[in-house]
Structure 1
Amino acid sequence: LDVDATIVIAHSEKEQATRTFKKTFGYHPIGVWCDNTGEFLAASLRPGNAGSNTTTDHLDVLSRAIAQVPASHRKKLLVRADGAGASHGLLDWLTTMNTAREHGRRGRSVEYSVGFAITETVREAIRLVPKDAWATALDADGEVREHADVVEITGLLPATTRTAWPVGMRVIVRREHPHPGAPLTLFEAADGWRYQAFVTNTTTGGVGFLEARHRAHARVEDRIRAAKDTGLNRFPSREYAINHAWLAVVQVAADLLAWLRLIALPEALKTCEPKALRYRFLHVPARLTRGGRRRHLRLPETWPWAKDAVATFTAVMAIPMRT
């Protein structure tokens, strides 16, 4: 489950639209996506000045998102967030979810992978890391990532810092050569490395794997972009309640597209962005005719994706109907 917030600009006065932290004007909705399926599980429409790391908002959308996951798949969950999720309230709640025995949650495993700020305490711990302790970073496909290393610094942090956070929290740091023109702090400029940190309660797996798993959270940006192309980028009404309903419709549309990709679309259409999918399939110039007591969907033979459209319709019609 990937949680993230995004700015939606309002081009006119709308109820609860306010100035955002990016000095724009609009809303600041927060949502949760299932990385396995691409489904838009839960969302909350918030004023533009809503905080990025507001614990109550994270708990609200995550609670509703977890409730959307079928019970058989709810026993082992991973929650990922960027640095906005690194709050004591959220990590404490996730830790409780992982260890609680009441309310039918016996045996549930809830792990987290959340961005962590590079504070002066973290910098001091990084300075204590031996040169040979750094391990090679990995790409998402398991290949070695050049000019990037990872290391766990949990044991190098002061005891006061470790005890202030939930039991079992591990702090892992990644360093890499910065891209040309990337801004660096004075600490990073001293040795030429750019540092990023995250925390997790996962006890198994090498630090390279855990770091690559955390960076896969970036896929949520693709989900947000697709949602904005499906209606999230424009709220139509001055009234907050109507815009909140619009957000629910956007979630339905995003889920329909996710399900279509999972069970029906051929490979040629499966990776299409919503705009391309609308052009190639959803807006296909077809005609519905009747004859011989039957209805016929007629697709133009010259349409480049006619065969893919037929394959999609065939897959959809083959889905068993439940009564």
Structure 2
Amino acid sequence: MSADGRGVVGHAGARLLADVAEVTGLTARFGEVLAVLRQRRGGHDPGRIAVDLAVMLADGGEAIADLAVLRDQAQVFGPVASGPTAWRLLSKLDSRVLGELALARAQAREIAWAQRIETHGGLPQTTAGGSTVPGLVLDMDATIVLCHSDKESATPTWKSTFGYHPLLCFLDNTREALAGMLREGRAGSNTTADHITVLDEAIAQIPDVYRHGTPVLIRSDSAGCTHGLLAHIRSLREHGLDTRFSVGVAITEPIRQAILTAKQHSQWVPAVDTSGEPRDGAQVCELTGLVPDDGYPAGTRFIVRRERPHPGAQLSLFDTIEGMRHQVMATDTPSGDPTNGPIQYLEARHRAHARVEDRIRTGKDTGFGRFPSRAFAINQAWLQLALTGIDLLVWTQMLLLDGELAAAEPKKLRYRLLHVAARLTRTARRTHLRIAETWPWATDLAAAFARLAALSQPIT
């Protein structure tokens, strides 16, 4: 083994991410927003630094020092800023600048969606209970990010750990990370103001052509079942948005009494699994009319699911006595609408909210599982760049890949495409990346670069 190889580079596939940022206009728009932060004419473009950080996070980097992987391969990634330069940029990204960067990301998303429609005919559709869910589906959820050192606003959490408690919103159709808010560890799970802020930021990321006239379903666990949030979702209809909610409901004493009443007098029907087939041992029933109004928006329906508990399930005392595990959800999807289906479908549609756990799990491997600074403001900026990195991965998949790779989680995508080695050759004043022909996914990567070159370019 010797360390004298020449013309060989690693992480060659990550060049796709940087190019996707170019063809969607993200790099140009970040450059426009951050132009005022440029210190000298010959220095690094701040917008390009921000994109390089997002590419690094999408590629699996965990710290600013990991920019060295891109910086030391200038033949592939061009000039990349040093760690101290990147630190200085992050320290200048206040809430106003982050808001402008979010607007720039929304503009790039509009182009990415237009390119997707042009090449594939439409956006991916989400499914539940064996049926297609019409329109767009937004999933909100919070998670705990552990901190192993003292950081500003890192506090004890409700799980008796220490760290942050960010609140996030993902688009289930595409897996894009629409919005996120970094919060201190003791932030409440069902804080109405935080949910409204993140939801509004997420909706602002949706292009106008989809925001108005397209059904938008907002899903959350019981943390989102607050009168303030549900009323806000309802109020969005006054602004031309066709919004509905589907949220979990905590099983309180009135809910328990409604379940007992339904047990005696209501008709239970078999629940369905993800493919729409009856699920053995699970039933659903509508509780609407049995649950006290208690300030819920008009038209709110309640649906309960009961099933035999699986081994190891954590049951409440009520579930232990009844011998069944119960879960309740609320929605304002009206009954009698053939496009929305029976209560089995509505309950299965809500349970599909669990997919957001996968988005958060993979997101923690794409930047927001580890925050680099003691300063809260820098960590806020880091979260937004991590969400940008997640978007770059999703846009790469939905525009350039197909089959298994189009649905692969980031870890698999990195292992098969992004981290591939290649040889650099120069012919006729052009630089070529040559991937080993025996690499199993070499043709997939070559095809992705070909599709990238064929995409319509934004007008600058």
Q: How high is the TM-score relative to the length of structure 2? A: 0.66
Alignment of 1:129-148 (within 5 A): 129=262, 130=264, 133-148=267-282
Q: Tell me the amino acid that sits aligned with residue 282 of structure 2.
A: A
Is 1:169 the counterpart of 2:300 in the alignment? yes
Is 1:202 the counterpart of 2:333 in the alignment? yes
Q: Tell me the amino acid that sits aligned with residue 359 of structure 2.
A: R
Alignment of 1:74-153 (within 5 A): 74-75=211-212, 76-98=215-237, 100=238, 105-106=239-240, 108-129=241-262, 130=264, 133-153=267-287
Contact 1:83 1:114 in 2 (8 A): yes
Alignment of 1:1-323 (within 5 A): 1-75=138-212, 76-98=215-237, 100=238, 105-106=239-240, 108-129=241-262, 130=264, 133-157=267-291, 161-203=292-334, 204=337, 205-323=341-459
Q: Tell me the amino acid that sits aligned with residue 256 of structure 2.
A: R
Q: How many Å apart are 1:293 and its aligned residue?
A: 2.6
**Structure 1 residue runs without a partner (length 5+):** none
Contact 1:266 1:312 in 2 (8 A): no
| Secondary structure of 1:114 counterpart | strand
Q: Distance in 1 between matches of 2:281 and 2:272?
A: 10
Q: Distance in 1 between matches of 2:294 and 2:142?
A: 29
Q: Tell me the amino acid that sits aligned with residue 191 of structure 1.
A: E
Residue by residue over 1:109-155, the C-alpha shift from the partner in whole angstroms, topping out at 9 and shown as x without a partner, is 11000000111111111111246600111122212111111111111
Q: Tell me the amino acid that sits aligned with residue 128 of structure 1.
A: T
Q: Tell me the amino acid that sits aligned with residue 285 of structure 1.
A: A
Q: Distance in 2 between matches of 1:117 and 1:21?
A: 17
Give the 3 Å change call, closer, same or farther, for CA 163–46 of structure 1 in structure 2.
closer
| Secondary structure of 2:393 counterpart | helix
Structure having the larger proportion of residues in helix: 2
| Aligned residue number for residue 19 of structure 2 | none
| Secondary structure of 1:172 counterpart | strand
Q: Distance in 2 between matches of 1:266 and 1:285?
A: 21
Q: How many Å apart are 1:163 and its aligned residue?
A: 4.7
Q: Distance in 2 between matches of 1:143 and 1:312?
A: 37
Q: Distance in 1 between matches of 2:265 and 2:313?
A: 24
Q: Distance in 2 between matches of 1:23 and 1:187?
A: 26
Q: Tell me the amino acid that sits aligned with residue 8 of structure 1.
A: V
Contact 1:154 1:162 in 2 (8 A): no
| Residue correspondences, number | 314
Q: Tell me the amino acid that sits aligned with residue 313 of structure 1.
A: F
Residue by residue over 1:222-276, the C-alpha shift from the partner in whole angstroms, topping out at 9 and shown as x without a partner, is 1101110111110001111111111011011000111111111131322322122
Q: What is the Cα-based RMSD across aligned positions, in Å?
A: 1.3
Q: Tell me the amino acid that sits aligned with residue 322 of structure 2.
A: D
Q: Tell me the amino acid that sits aligned with residue 60 of structure 1.
A: T
**Structure 2 residue runs without a partner (length 5+):** 1-137
Contact 1:138 1:212 in 2 (8 A): yes
| Secondary structure of 1:195 counterpart | strand
% identical equivalent positions:
53
| Secondary structure of 1:162 counterpart | coil
Give the 3 Å change call, closer, same or farther, for CA 61–132 of structure 1 in structure 2.
closer
Residue by residue over 1:155-174, the C-alpha shift from the partner in whole angstroms, topping out at 9 and shown as x without a partner, is 122xxx21521111111100
Q: Tell me the amino acid that sits aligned with residue 223 of structure 2.
A: A
Contact 2:266 2:285 in 1 (8 A): no
Q: Tell me the amino acid that sits aligned with residue 125 of structure 1.
A: A
Q: Distance in 2 between matches of 1:257 and 1:170?
A: 37
Q: Tell me the amino acid that sits aligned with residue 346 of structure 2.
A: L
Q: Distance in 2 between matches of 1:122 and 1:187?
A: 11
